Each structure stands twice: as structure tokens, then as C-alpha cells.
Amino acid sequence: MCYYCWQVKTVSDRHPKRIGLARLKSLLAPSYRALLFGVLGCLLVGGGSQYTDMMLKRSGLTGWFYTPGALILLMVVVLGANPLVGLLRRRWMLRPPELAQIYIMWIIGSAVSTDGFVSYFLPQLTSPVYYATPENNWSVDLLPHVPVWLIPSYNLADVKDLYEGAAQGKGVPWGLWLPVILRWVPFALALHLAMITIMVILRKQWVEAERLVFPMTQLPVAMIQDDDENPSLVKPFFKSWAMWLGFAIPFVIHTNNGMIQHFPWLARINTGGYYLYFFEDTLRLLIGMNFMMIGFTFLVRREVSLGLWVFGALGFAQAALFTSLGVESHEPMFSHFSSRAGVISSHQAFGAFMVLALVSLWNARAHVLQVLRQALGRGAKQDDSGEILSYRAAVIILTVSLTYMGIWLWLCGLPAWIVPIYLGLAFLLFLGITRIIAEGGVPYLFAPMIASDFIVGGFGTRALGPTGILALSFTYMWASDIINFVMVSCANGLKVAEESVVRGRRLLFWSMVVALVVSFGSSVWVLLEVAYKHGGLNTSHYFADQSYQHFDDAAMRMQTSVGPNWDYWGYTAIGALIMGLLVLLRNTFIWWPIHPIGFPISLVMNKMLVSVFLAWLIKTIVLEYGGPRLFKQLRPFFLGLILGDFFPLGFLILLDALAKH
């Protein structure tokens, strides 16, 4: 029994006439004061992460799917601020449902700030103008196809200061930026609301029916839980010696390595390992240890972790075979996001991703159909009081959001018949990645191929035309470097709510919307202020190659008129067929030990392969010789490994800030 449930029970037992229903509900629900604290944290998550990335050169606070900035803030609140408030008066302390609400807001905000939507957003709106030269001829080939409402200006003088810094006292030209930002806000809101509502619709299937593990939620849930019968200022998680032992190992190592730039006499402790190179350095395998990956993998089911490292090893073997035979090639018209492997491997993985997402939807078909019937006012009504939105509202918002996005893409120049195909592929990728993280807990993950490159290869540049090719370039800010997005944060947030919030979950939806707006606004404001003061090129790599590569791709595609490449469709079909057979094996034969979830991401498991194998081996030994009891005893140690792996980042940022000032 958690603290807030214990408090309700004991208070009602002692004073049955004093405590009312409203008070009982308030102990189990999120609150408006937590919403306020969440807003303050979102200002730090959005603007603070942008500042640390641009000025302190410490990136990663909001990068990748484990959102370290939100977890660092949660630890500061739970272990520092909340106990200090409790020393004054226990009733003032934030309760577990409120802490869950705050954390959910912070992980939602993390997905739109640094390494998310905003960091790509402003540079990519201006790079076609800033990087246009007589040599690349962009002013003739590209800019005439850009709608006038899509970018702030066609004039180089208007955007030059963003990249090179404005004269002293000049500041940010908000008259130039506010109109275009306000035009983009509805699209960004529609995109993220679509992600949230998809997760609202699928939550019951994933959390209650399939009971996915959600490894990334286990640490924050453990951090905010209270004692059963003896609540105290310090949460029980932080009283575990096993947790602190696990925490100390990566914390000492990473802190030592991070402080070398301030104290050069320190010796580096290399746990990242070394690369083994093959085939004249064209293929490499990392032999090293990632503490966070070991911790997350220890929490997942063994069949899942087995699938991750087995298919990772097979993926490396396939890459070695294709390289030795010389059958793999790279498509020059594809972006670098789809060129991490050759065209055969990337299309194969893309086909596997599509099957993974479609199978996930197929397994949820009964529930989804019932949700749709309920939204239309037909069929038996199922209870949606535990959701952050009613099913009807979720379906309506999803429909409106996707429709708005489709019209937007069409107005940008994408052919009308390609719009639904593109949106379908992009959201299936989002869904597939979210499913892998919810079940496999892989913190470092990206798509093997992005939707826009598949469209270019599968349908050809002739089908797109110049305006369609350029329209795809403006989608890279939200559908290219997919290393953090709102759908994953929402899925994890809903699982945290399931574990910690009993009543009043509808407030969580509005908390998410507020988090999106506040984090987006603060991140945009800091990015513009810093860029105009110090120069974007001097402060962030997003103003360099990350901003103009997409338009280099567009210029090349415009000069190459090709139709569909049927070989690419064949490679995709092979990957889809293999994934389908793997899913069939798992669903048909109980004895089949390998989960197919590792196959779609076999290309990206290279750096994590050894760590996943070690975690799987350790867990196998633990369960074989110690059983569930030993697993439960060791669980805090591995949660400590996760916490200690990223917490030094916050410590080093504080040290850098003190050294800078």
C-alpha cells in the first residue's frame, strides 16, 4: 500500500466523520499546484536544456528517450526540495500523484525542446536562404518553390544575424519571427496531439491487456513511491544500500571523466570500450559497457533481451556478409538518416518496422474498434473514466489533427495522393519505435529509414515534382532524426499515471498540453536570444550541417528524374516477410524463445550489443539460481546503475556553469 492510500485509510479510520469525499479524492489525484510546479520545471527543461546545449556544450539533457533532464529534476525534487518542505509541514509536501504529474509534464516537454522539434525548427526555416550561393543555385532551384508563408523571409539580410550574431544592442527581431512561429504552432500542436491521442486509445491494450513492462517508467515510479505503513521525508528507494551501490559505480566513473576538462591531471576510466574494425574499416563493432543499457535490459523479459542481442549479432553478421560480397550499396538521393546501412539492410528493417506496428494495431483491433464505435455513439459503452481523455474526445482530436497535418503538407506542395501515404508511414514508424521502447527499454534508438526517403525511393522523384521534393525537406524537423518524440513520452507517462494516479487523470491531459506550450515557447525564446547574441553557428551544430543537408538532398533530387525503384519494394517486402514469420513463430509455438522485437532494430544494436548480452546473461543466472526473490533483491542495484549513469550530467552542468561565471 502506497503512502497516499495509507493516509486515506488511516485518516478515515481514525476520524470517519471529519474526512470528506473531496479530501479522499484529493489525496489520490493530481493537482493545480503540481501543474504550477510542472510549468516551472518545463521552463528549465525547455529553455535550460537549450542554454546548456548552446552555451555550456553539455548536450543530452532532453536527448534520447530516457529524458535524463526530467529524471535529474525529479531526483532533486524528491530527494532535496520535497523533504525540506516536509520539515516545515508534512501537508505541504508533494504527494506521489502530484510528483507523477510533474514528471509526466517534464518528459513531454523534453520531447519538443533540445534534440527535439525546436532545435531543428528555426534553423531549417532559414537555412535555404542563408546557405544559398551562386554555386549551389538554390535561389533559382529551391526558393521559388517555398511557399511565402512557410519561412520568415527570402532576404539574406533578415536571417544572417541568426547565424552570425547581431550587432550589440540589436536583439531578436520579434516582428520577423512571431508571425512565422505562430503559423507553425498549430501544425506542431496537431502533430503532438495526434501522438498523445493515439497513446490514449492504445493505453488500455498495452498496459492492461498485454501488460508491457515499460522499463523506462520503473525508475521514476520507484523514486516517488512511499513506505507502506511508515511514510517519511526520504523515499524508501533512496534508503536502499543496493541502489546506492549501483548508483556509485557509473557516477564515479562518469564524473571523473567529465571533470578532466577542468582537472587535466585526472586519469580517464574507459568503460565505453573500443571498436573492432573489419573490412578495411568499413564495418565496426563496439566492445564496451553501457551501465544504463545494462540496467534497462535487466528489467525486461528475458525473451525480449534475448531477441535484442541475438538479432543484433545476426544483423552484424549480415552486414559483414554483404560487405564481403559487395552486394550492399548506398543511394545518393537518400538523406544521411537512412544511410547508416546500405539500401538492402535499411529497407529490410523498414519493412520489419511496418509489420511490427501493424501487428501491434492488429492485436488491439477489438479494443480499437470498440473505441471507434463508442466515439460514433454506437455499440456498448466501455469505461474510459481512467483515461486522460474520453475515447470520443481522443478520436475527434486525432481526426482533426491528422486532417490539419494533411492539408498543411498539401499546401506545402506535397501531392495530395502522397499525403496520406506519407503520414501513414511516419506514424507507423513512431508507433513501432514506441512499442519497442515500451517493451524493450532501448534508450538509444532511431529508425533505420525515415518515411521521406522511402517515398523518394519507392515512388520516385517524378511522382513528387519540385514542390513535393521541397515539401519533404520541411518535414525533417519532426520526422527525420527520430531520437525523442512525444508519443514515447506520452506512453511512458500514461504508465506512470497507471502506477501512481488513482483519480482525476483528466487533468493530466491539460498538463501535457501546457507542458508542450511552455517547453516549446521557452526553448524557442532561449534559442533565438542566444543565437542572435552569440551567433547560431558559434553555439549549435543545428545551424550547420544539420540545417542545410536536407536542402542539399532536395537539390540533388530535383536534378534526378526517376520513377519507382522496384528493387527497394522487394527489399522492404523481404524484411516484412521475415518479421511476419518471426511473429508467427512466437505466437504459434510456446517453446520459441526469441522475441522478434530485436529484428527491426538489428542495425542500431551495434553499440549496445555487449551490454544487452551481459544484462541478459546476468538475469538468466539470477533467475536460474536465485529465482524471483533474488531478482527483486537485485532490482534496486540495477535501477541505481541507470540513475548513476545519467545523473553526473546534471552535476557537470552545474560545475560548468560555476566555472563559466
Does residue 28 fall inside a structural domain? no
Least confident interval from 281-290, 399-408, 574-583: 281-290
pLDDT score recorded for residue 16: 41
- The DSSP code for 207 is I
Q: Which residue has cell 541475438?
A: 310
Does residue 20 fall inside a structural domain? no
364: left (phi over 0), alpha (psi -120 to 50) or beta: alpha
Does residue 90 fall inside a structural domain? yes
Q: Give the SS3 label for residue 27.
A: helix
pLDDT score recorded for residue 229: 53
pLDDT score recorded for residue 63: 73
Least confident interval from 164-173, 330-339, 526-535, 615-624: 330-339
pLDDT tens readout for residues 96-120: 999 999 999 999 999 888 777 888 8
Does residue 29 fall inside a structural domain? no
Consecutive H or E run containing 316:
helix 302-325
Q: How confident is the model at residue 660 (pLDDT cuts 50, 70, 90)?
A: low
Instruction: Examine the pLDDT at 61 and tell me if it is beyond 80.
Output: no
- The DSSP code for 447 is -
Residue 269's domain spans which residues?
3-13+34-660
Distance, in Å, from the CA atom of 617 to the CA atom of 620, rounded to the nearest integer, reads 5
Q: How confident is the model at residue 6 (pLDDT cuts 50, 70, 90)?
A: very low
| Residue that wins the pLDDT comparison between 284 and 462 | 462
**Bridge-partner residues for 287, per DSSP?**
274
Does residue 417 fall inside a structural domain? yes
pLDDT score recorded for residue 262: 76
The number of domains in the chain is 1
pLDDT score recorded for residue 27: 62
**Which distant-in-sequence residues (6+ apart) come within 8 Å of 540 by Cβ?**
53, 54, 119, 123, 527, 531
Does residue 26 fall inside a structural domain? no
Instruction: Examine the pLDDT at 370 and tell me if it is beyond 80.
Output: yes
Evaluate whether 375 touches 395 at the Cβ level (below 8 Å): yes
Nearest to 443 by CA among 217, 121, 208: 217
Does residue 24 fall inside a structural domain? no
Does residue 574 fall inside a structural domain? yes
pLDDT score recorded for residue 361: 96
pLDDT tens readout for residues 231-240: 678 899 999 9
**Bridge-partner residues for 274, per DSSP?**
287
pTM of the model: 0.92
Average of per-residue pLDDT across 388-396? 95
Evaluate whether 51 touches 526 at the Cβ level (below 8 Å): yes
Please provide the DSSP assignment of 551-609 as one string: HHHHHHHHT------HHHHHHHHHHHHHHHHHHHHHHH-TT----GGGSTTGGG-GGGH
pLDDT tens readout for residues 543-594: 887 788 889 889 999 988 899 999 999 999 999 999 999 999 999 998 899 9
pLDDT score recorded for residue 52: 86
Q: What are phi and psi of 324, to 5 degrees?
A: -65, -35
Instruction: Examine the pLDDT at 649 and tell me if it is beyond 80.
Output: yes
